Amino acid sequence: MNKLNSNLFTPSFYSDGNNVAATRVFAKDKKALTSVLTEVSLLSTLDNANIVKILGYVQTSSNVVPVIIMDYLEGSTLCGGWRLLLGSCPYV
Amino acid sequence: MEAATGFMSIRLTKLVFDISRYLHAHSVTHRDLKPDNVLLDLNFNAKVCDFGISQYIVSASKDSRKTVCNLLTRISYSRNLYAGSLQLPCYTTASYIAVRFKKLFLFLLELEYILLKMAVIVFGWVDPCEDILCGSPSVCQLDANRNPICECGEICSLDFRPICGSDGTLQLLSSN
């Protein structure tokens, strides 16, 4: 996997050939880690074409930052193009 | 590749409402729905992400109500539909608005799109700022009612140095 920035990595190949994004989660305290766990448990119960899917959650040991593996989307966010053009998003 | 036109915005708005309803049906509130959290792929299929502060609904709490009201306000303001003339109603349950007002909002968005398209075809009107000439430090911007006004850009200096043009007129140029 190629490093994109500090906690987002470029797509690698999952076993079925689809691109995936791996995000390292740097939880500063226990509260942040709890929110990550909430997100993982929530997303794993939801199955919709328009909601990002969690493909995997890896934590080798308790003191290592967990890695979430998700769908990778090539485009930006809805605001991404505006931020690129204007430097800020006018709709937020 | 399909362009992100006005029609796309209608589709994406519908999608956000659909996802909101899907989540509420599964007793989940996202609580942070905004354009930054809607990802697009190259075919403009949208996916919602960032469930960091989402919660299971225990009862219709004050929080979820506020978030939906914020979203609706944000959408209407971003499309310049109301521009402050209409106070958006915030009812007790979030899903009430999402379901009951969905069609109304989509109809209004569609109407606005059709009117805009007609204005472009009939009047050739694209950008209100197109024919406005502003002095060099200021730039043309739209106010809340979509009227063009000359305003300072981000790097606007208060220091002006008038110089004499070759045709004898006085020119105002910013120091930078």
**Domains in chain A, CATH or no CATH each:** 12-86 (3.30.200.20)
Q: Which one of A25, A34, A40, A46 would you mutate to disrupt binding with B, by most B Cβ within 10 Å of its Cβ?
A: A46
Instruction: Classify residue B44: in a domain, yes or no.
Output: yes
B143 shares a domain with B63: no
B104 shares a domain with B34: yes
B143 shares a domain with B114: no
Is the pTM higher than 0.95?
Answer: no
Task: Give chain B's mean pLDDT.
Answer: 64
pLDDT at A27: 64
Does the CB of B45 have a partner CB in chain A at under 8 Å?
Answer: yes
Q: Would the pLDDT of B91 be above 50? A: no
All residues of chain A having their beta carbon less than 8 Å from the beta carbon of residue B15 are 50
pLDDT at B175: 44
pLDDT at A55: 84
B146 shares a domain with B84: no
Q: Are strands B46-48 and B38-40 parallel, antiparallel or unpaired?
A: antiparallel
| Residue of chain B minimizing CA distance to A71 | B47
pLDDT at B101: 53
3-state secondary structure of B112: helix
pLDDT at B140: 74
Q: For residue range A25-72, what is the model confidence (pLDDT) as tens digits?
A: 776 677 777 777 888 888 888 888 888 888 888 877 776 677 888 888
- Which is more confidently placed, B94 or B152? B152
CATH of the domain at B41: 1.10.510.10
- Name the packing angle between helices B102-123 and B6-25 (round to 10°): 170
B111 shares a domain with B32: yes
Q: Cα(B37)–Cα(B15) distance, rounded to whole angstroms?
A: 13
Q: What percent of chain B has pLDDT over 70?
A: 36
Are B39 and A74 a contacting pair at CB < 8 A?
no
B146 shares a domain with B105: no
Q: For residue range B11-50, what is the model confidence (pLDDT) as tens digits?
A: 777 777 788 788 877 878 777 777 778 888 877 788 888 8
Residue at which a domain ends, from B99, B123, B147: B123
pLDDT at A61: 74
Q: Which one of A50, A72, A83, A85 would you mutate to disrupt binding with B, by most B Cβ within 10 Å of its Cβ?
A: A50
Mean pLDDT of B87-92: 40
**Number of domains making up chain B:** 2
Mean pLDDT of A5-16: 59
Q: For residue range B37-47, what is the model confidence (pLDDT) as tens digits?
A: 888 887 778 88
pLDDT at B45: 80
pLDDT at B176: 42
Q: For residue range B60-69, what is the model confidence (pLDDT) as tens digits?
A: 444 544 555 5
| Residue of chain A minimizing CA distance to B23 | A46
pLDDT at B148: 74
Q: Cα(B56)–Cα(A41) distance, rounded to whole angstroms?
A: 11
Cβ within 8 Å of residue B107, ≥6 positions away: none
Residue B56 pairs in a beta bridge with B28
Note the ipTM here.
0.73
| B77: closest CA of chain A, how far (Å) | 8
Q: Which two tokens stand for residue A10?
A: 């470029």
Instruction: Classify residue B129: in a domain, yes or no.
Output: no
Instruction: Classify residue B130: in a domain, yes or no.
Output: no
B167 shares a domain with B82: no
State which residues form the domain around B163.
138-174
B109 shares a domain with B28: yes
Q: Would the pLDDT of B112 be above 70? A: no
Q: Which two tokens stand for residue B164?
A: 């004499």
Burial of A59 (0-12, 13-18, 19+ CB in 10 A): middle
Instruction: Classify residue B81: in a domain, yes or no.
Output: yes
B146 shares a domain with B114: no
Instruction: Classify residue B49: in a domain, yes or no.
Output: yes
String of b and e for B58-70 (b: at least 16 CB within 10 Å)?
A: eebeeebbebbbe
B75 shares a domain with B17: yes
B170 shares a domain with B93: no
Instruction: Classify residue B145: in a domain, yes or no.
Output: yes
Instruction: Classify residue B128: in a domain, yes or no.
Output: no
Smallest Cα–Cα separation from B81: which of B5, B6, B2?
B6
B83 shares a domain with B148: no
Does the CB of B152 have a partner CB in chain A at under 8 Å?
Answer: no
